Structure 1
Amino acid sequence: MAADPHAAMLQAALALQQQGNFKEARRKYESIIARDPRNFNALQLCGVAAMQQEAYRDAVKLIRRALAIRGNDAPTLTNLGIAHHKLGQVAEALECFDKAIAAKPDFASAHHNRANLLREAKRRDEAMVSYDQALALQPENYLIHANRASVLYDLDRLEEALAALDRAIALRPDYATAHFRQGQVLLDQKKPESALDSFDRALHLQPDDPEFLDGRGKALLDLERFEEALLSQKRALELAPKRAELHNSCGLSFYRLKRMEAALAFFKEAIALKPDFVDPHIHCSTIYRELTWHGDAMRHAERAIALAPDNTDAQLSKAYTLNSEGKYQEALPIFETLRAKVPEDVGLQVYLAQTLGYLGRNAESGAMWKGAIASIAASDADAVATISEGLHHTNLLPAIYSHEFELTAARQDLLQGLEKSQALLVDFGKPSDTA
């Protein structure tokens, strides 16, 4: 086979690309292509350089030209799949990855990128199969372990997710994202102190990552170190002022500090930046409900439901608002529907018991209270705290005391938790709400 007459220029372009000078690398590749339109290496490498510049449409055109010359090249098919993935073209990307695997079944990158695509498409079981195939080919690849952990996390297989992240960190201790994801899992496991350690390790490696700072803030929030949480979240906002999720996080910290005006301002800014963001609508509804401004509370609850009809918190926000207005008959079917979906949820049992009690259906209410209390071990402080947190802005105590059944140790704990967490309404003028 004759030597490529453009080999020296290709090497020079590749060196520029590896140094991060993608613009100049593309210029050199394009110069070669102008002289030799069927130069496979120049076309596919120029396509990769275009991807590195986030010029994905250019990348697709260049890589397709390369594949017209060498159609079964697995790495090039995989790169085309990545470009389609970046453009949100799921079907086209999946077809490319499948062709790459058919051409070279032991090409781990094709399996890995296929898994990443399926994970984002929420086809999690299929993604797991592809991650496992990629790992069988490259068991020491830390990125595959870390990305596989994300699917396990989405599937609520938290212990397995932690094990995968531990393996990723063992293989690459300086991979900050693995430490961050470890913190997320630990936070979901209600281990905020351990989560904080993980977030701090991630930040040691990447001190100015706003997502890592936000994670740290969430851990501090769970530890009730509210001022510290706010400092971390404000620093994240300085780095990414247009990120709606960070405004939402700041709003939560101000809410926990009982600074309601500030909390509302941050939640509204989150909505302004990302109008389809459900969480700040739910949080606005909560604050307005606590202030007994029921119209505003209901407006935000209904907006949240319109955005995410199956979101349990959005539905609960509406039901809570109806209850706070004394519209128990309207709230009842919402609680009943949600409890049918998750019958083991003790918080829903408690709210349903309360609502039945307010409607005078005392026998049903009493049975529901007994069921809720039976679900809580007397020593399960976490369960009591969870219920207390969920109910701390409602006047539950009269409803609980009105039922005449045996006062168990668990019920005593529940009452004490609720007594400690009764709402402290903030006295300030009603702010304008134009969200």
Structure 2
Amino acid sequence: MASPTTVFPEITSSVAALRASFATNKTKAVSWRRKQLLSLYKFLSSNENLIQQVLFKDLHRPPAEVSSELVSTINEVVYALNNLSDWTKPVPCEKNPATLLDVIETRQEPLGVVLIISPFNYPVNLLVAPLVSALAAGNCVVLKPSEVASHTEQMWVEWVPKLFDSSCVKVVTGGIQETKWLLEQRLDKVFFTGSTTVGKSIAQTCAKNLVPLALELGGKCPVYVDESANIPVIARRIAWAKCMNNGQICLAPDYILAHTSVAAKLSSSLRASFKEFYSANPRASKEYGRLINRNHTQRVAKLLARQTAQAHSKVECGGEYSVEECFVAPTVISGVKPTDPLMEEEIFGPVVGIVQVSSVDEALNAINARERPLSIYVCTESKSVVDKFASSTSSGSLLVNDFYFNMTLEDMPFGGIGYSGIGKCHGHAGFLGTSSDLFYIN
């Protein structure tokens, strides 16, 4: 059951109350920041069963997936706690002859009231990660959890007032209209994770009100598999990455550019990997998740239907779905062309298409013809191929022979470029992103 919607007057008064609390300067104290982070750490560390339950109800997430995500989320909090003292220290600046006797430094000041709009696909991690940064930087925070992941939303509504200083951290619930109203309030930073289309709309509103923002978006993340790749190993890694959270990840491998010489072997290896991981009947597998709701399932089903209607494409495995059960089988489609339906938009589901290419240059041209992605995955044993991708493409991240592990590194900045995002999060980068440089001379 969805949480009661926050009415417009309450949204306005909540943001005003946060501004008043920030004006007292109490959030600037490192001791206050540490207290909030410690409370969050204790909650995450002692409520794994609760988090497992809500994520299963919302997304049918397998326990092993949730456990690994929770470890990464907790590590984010621990990293901030361990480095908070260093992050908040003034940084001395180089002096010139006119300022030799002065104190010259850069200080990190909190921005004020930070709005965090989290998505349905990772309604715990993608709310907590920017929250950690905002609290570490000494901000007041208004949280807008996804109403689509309603059980997790209800968890935050219940627990946030218990965990944090309620005068400085508040939750707003509701849908599109409530979010639009919230964005019209006086804010000092907006952090949004979601689709590029919604991100554009939020950016327009923020620009009108001169509010800085960070957008963690996504797009179509490509995988290039060349003739030197270890196909059985790479197939297992792609299969694992593609079906993590049922493909509902901004970093998910969206399409594969496979060298012609290995495309057939890759298809059969992916089919074998899916069967190994989820059995011949993934619908009955306890390790296989579901799409968030029927609307999203219907969207993926229609995309499948349009693609399979193309005479040149072939379903190598999967293709089955049930809108009622929010189920789509792990699906591989070969013979996909760059102009096909499967290549039009981010899939955000457990379906992947294989586009054959005859060279590295053809793969690079295909990638560079599109908007810059959040991540590019290169599967090769050739250093020259890796170097060519590093020098000839632009993306938020470039991973070689693996997937997602940049998300496990607490201090590696994470974010996109252009259509895949603006700004960075995690670790020190997230702290700086929710701080303002104060240039101090005395």
Q: TM-score when scaled to structure 1?
A: 0.30
| Rg larger in structure | 1
Bigger relative CO (Cα 8 Å, ≥ 6 apart): 2
Structure with the bigger percentage of strand = 2
